[in-house]
């Protein structure tokens, strides 16, 4: 379901997270773009992110999307102060997961991605700190890495500004203005801003801004991170990874600490949560990591935090005009804990919906009408299970 492709000169984007900044960068080439944020750049989920980039894994069923996202991080590397840290990733598998993991690795390798399945002894020969007695092996990705999410987003902002976009921060959008079935602007606390199109990229608050009767199938959920300092700093070869059965993922920090993420659960009232990490998640990590990685027996707790992202029924974002939306209204939300790595598709997808310019990948995965038969209170699926 696309917004019509008539010319839309002024586009207002609500939200200066990674989604809004990417949309701004792409649209500013040939539109007047104004980005409004109630606080600042990367102020919510984006700034709290672990910044892991692994599109080949999470878009294994959509190789053109994975290729586009992988390519973007490499092309953008070095622009506007942004840098992409390349690092291999191991997705650790139990005996019962091994056969499916081998099939996945074979399929991705045949598609041309640098992916292979290795048994546990091959993994521990290469990465000696891991204790994989309980596991059969791992899928190794050699096209993964991470970004600092704040610097990445400010680099996107700077690229968008260079193309003429304006960013007005500390400005809350209180409502959309709709005339005769067309979006004609937004209301803020102090003024009405006219627009030919509006892109709402407001994270979990996106639903609140939609006109009555217009819905997107997203629900908020909480997700957490803990950083541990090992006895000795991790080497510069230490990989990223995930242990699906434990619902945790990890990546090294530049200083040799280890960031561990997980502890996801759906919530109904996001405004009532703090950014403090749950004690129960912290204790789970304190139990698991010293068993799994050598050198963490006396690890120090450095930091921990929690953020709120939005889940969709199939773990993929919704970048489209919702059903029954006024003409000229798009949303970009539902990033399911993968919004940094998926962000490169936001700009081209928004562009296609507004102008008809098609990118090198199909945007059908991000269409709003794919959920027609899904109930509003859908079951939350964690991307740890994908």
Among 340, 345, 354, 365, binds ligand FAD (CB under 6 A): 340
201 binds ligand FAD (CB under 6 A): yes
**Residue list 33-52, contact with ligand FAD (CB under 6 A):** 36-39, 43-46, 48-52
Candidate segments 77-85, 111-119, 217-225, 283-291, binder of ligand FAD by CB under 6 A: 217-225
Q: Which is nearer to ligand FAD, 200 or 234 (CB)?
A: 200
Is 56 in contact with 141 (CB distance < 8 Å)? yes
Find the shortest distance in angstroms from Cβ 192 to ligand FAD.
14
335 binds ligand FAD (CB under 6 A): yes
Q: How many CB atoms lie within 10 A of CB 376?
A: 9
C-alpha to C-alpha distance for 18 and 52, rounded to whole angstroms: 14
173 binds ligand FAD (CB under 6 A): yes
17 binds ligand FAD (CB under 6 A): yes
Pairing of strands 300-311, 219-229: antiparallel
16 binds ligand FAD (CB under 6 A): yes
Find the shortest distance in angstroms from Cβ 231 to ligand FAD.
25
Environment class of residue 293 by beta-carbon count within 10 Å: exposed (0-12), middle (13-18) or buried (19+)? buried
Find the shortest distance in angstroms from Cβ 119 to ligand FAD.
27
Which residues touch 197 (CB under 8 Å, ≥6 apart)? 3, 8, 10, 11, 12, 183, 328, 329, 330, 354
345 binds ligand FAD (CB under 6 A): no
172 binds ligand FAD (CB under 6 A): yes
154 binds ligand FAD (CB under 6 A): no
The token pair that represents 373 in the structure block = 């038969």
262 binds ligand FAD (CB under 6 A): no
12 binds ligand FAD (CB under 6 A): no
Find the shortest distance in angstroms from Cβ 146 to ligand FAD.
7
Q: Which stretches of the chain are assigned E, i.e. beta strand?
A: 10-14, 32-37, 52-53, 84-86, 89-93, 115-119, 137-141, 145-147, 166-169, 173-179, 182-188, 192-194, 197-200, 219-229, 240-243, 248-252, 258-266, 300-311, 318-320, 329-333
18 binds ligand FAD (CB under 6 A): yes
Find the shortest distance in angstroms from Cβ 98 to ligand FAD.
25
Identify the bridge partners of residue 223 per DSSP, sorted by sequence position.
307
Find the shortest distance in angstroms from Cβ 20 to ligand FAD.
6
275 binds ligand FAD (CB under 6 A): no
The token pair that represents 110 in the structure block = 């045949």
Find the shortest distance in angstroms from Cβ 58 to ligand FAD.
8
DSSP 208: H
User: Dihedral through CA 34, CA 40, CA 41, CA 46, nearest 10?
Assistant: -120
Which residues touch 268 (CB under 8 Å, ≥6 apart)? 220
205 binds ligand FAD (CB under 6 A): yes
Query: Any idea which residue has 């507004």 for tokens?
Result: 354
Find the shortest distance in angstroms from Cβ 347 to ligand FAD.
12
326 binds ligand FAD (CB under 6 A): no
Under the rule (CB under 6 A), what is the footprint of ligand FAD?
14-20, 36-39, 43-46, 48-52, 172-173, 201-203, 205, 209, 223-225, 261, 307, 309, 333, 335, 337-341
């Amino acid at each position: 379901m696309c917004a019509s492709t008539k010319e839309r000169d002024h586009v207002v984007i609500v939200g200066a997270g990674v989604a809004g900044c990417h949309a701004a960068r792409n649209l500013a080439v040939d539109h007047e773009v104004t980005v409004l944020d109630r606080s600042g750049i990367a102020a919510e989920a984006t700034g709290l992110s672990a910044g892991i980039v692994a599109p080949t894994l999470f878009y294994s069923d959509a190789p053109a999307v994975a290729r586009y996202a992988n390519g973007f991080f490499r092309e953008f590397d070095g622009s506007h102060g942004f840098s992409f840290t390349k690092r291999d990733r191991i997705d650790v598998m139990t005996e019962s997961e091994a056969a499916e993991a081998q099939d996945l690795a074979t399929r991705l390798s045949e598609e041309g991605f640098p992916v292979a399945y290795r048994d546990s002894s091959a993994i521990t020969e290469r990465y000696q700190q891991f204790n994989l007695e309980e596991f059969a092996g791992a899928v190794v990705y050699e096209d993964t890495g991470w970004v600092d999410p704040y610097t990445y987003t400010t680099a996107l902002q700077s690229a968008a500004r260079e193309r003429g976009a304006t960013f007005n921060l500390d400005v809350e959008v209180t409502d959309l203005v709709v005339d005769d079935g067309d979006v004609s602007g937004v209301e803020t606390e102090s003024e009405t801003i006219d627009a030919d199109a509006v892109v709402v990229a407001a994270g979990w608050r996106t639903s609140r801004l939609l006109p009555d009767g217009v819905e997107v199938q997203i629900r908020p959920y909480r997700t957490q991170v803990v950083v541990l300092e090992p006895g000795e700093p991790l080497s510069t070869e230490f990989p990223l990874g995930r242990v699906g059965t434990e619902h945790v993922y990890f990546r090294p920090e530049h200083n040799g600490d280890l960031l561990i993420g997980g502890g996801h659960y759906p919530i109904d009232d996001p405004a009532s949560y703090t950014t403090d990490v749950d004690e129960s998640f912290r204790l789970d990590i304190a139990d698991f990591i010293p068993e799994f990685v050598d050198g963490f027996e006396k690890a120090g707790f450095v930091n921990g935090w929690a953020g709120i992202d939005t889940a969709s029924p199939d773990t993929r974002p919704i970048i489209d005009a919702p059903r029954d939306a006024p003409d000229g209204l798009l949303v970009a939300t539902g990033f399911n804990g993968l919004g940094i790595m998926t962000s490169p598709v936001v700009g081209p997808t928004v562009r296609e919906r507004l102008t008809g310019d098609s990118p090198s990948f199909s945007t059908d995965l991000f269409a709003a009408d794919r959920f027609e038969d899904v109930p509003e209170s859908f079951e939350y699926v964690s991307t740890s299970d994908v």
